Amino acid sequence: MTKKEEQHEVRKWQILDIALNHFIRYGFYGTSTRKIAEEAGISSGLMFHYFPNKLALYEALVEIGCEKLIIDNGEGESPIIFFEKQIDWFLSVATQNNFAARMFVFMGLVAINAKDVSERATQMIKEHDVEAMSVPYIEKGQELGEIRPGDPMTLSVLFYSSVQGFAETLVSRDDLKLPDKEWFLAILRNENREYKR
Partner DNA sequence: TTATATATTAAGCATATGCTCAACTTTTGT
Partner DNA sequence: ACAAAAGTTGAGCATATGCTTAATATATAA
**Binding site partner of 164, from a copy of itself, DNA, none, Cβ cut-off 5-8 A by kind:** a copy of itself
Q: Which residues bind a copy of itself (CB under 8 A)?
A: 24-31, 105, 109, 111-113, 116, 131, 148, 150-151, 153-155, 157-158, 160-162, 164-166, 168-169, 172, 176-180, 183-184, 186-187, 189, 191
**Contacts to DNA from residues 38-57, by CB under 7 A:** 42-46, 48-49, 52-55
Q: Which is nearer to DNA, 12 or 126 (CB)?
A: 12
Q: In angstroms, what is the minimal distance from the CB of 47 to DNA?
A: 8
Per the CB < 8 A criterion, the answer to whether 104 and 68 are in contact is no
Beta bridge partners, 147, equal: 189
Q: In angstroms, what is the minimal distance from the CB of 2 to a copy of itself?
A: 39
Quick one: which segment of 28-36, 80-88, 128-136, 142-150 binds DNA (CB under 7 A)? 28-36
Per-residue b or e along 163-176, where b marks 16 or more CB atoms closer than 10 Å to that residue's CB:
bbebbbebbeeeee
Beta bridge partners, 189, equal: 147
**Binding site partner of 113, from DNA, a copy of itself, none, Cβ cut-off 5-8 A by kind:** a copy of itself
Q: Which is nearer to a copy of itself, 50 or 131 (CB)?
A: 131
Q: In angstroms, what is the minimal distance from the CB of 36 to DNA?
A: 8
Q: In angstroms, what is the minimal distance from the CB of 138 to a copy of itself?
A: 12
Q: Does 116 bind DNA (CB under 7 A)?
A: no
Q: Does 16 bind DNA (CB under 7 A)?
A: no
Q: Rule CB under 7 A: which residues touch DNA?
A: 2-5, 7-8, 11, 31-35, 42-46, 48-49, 52-55
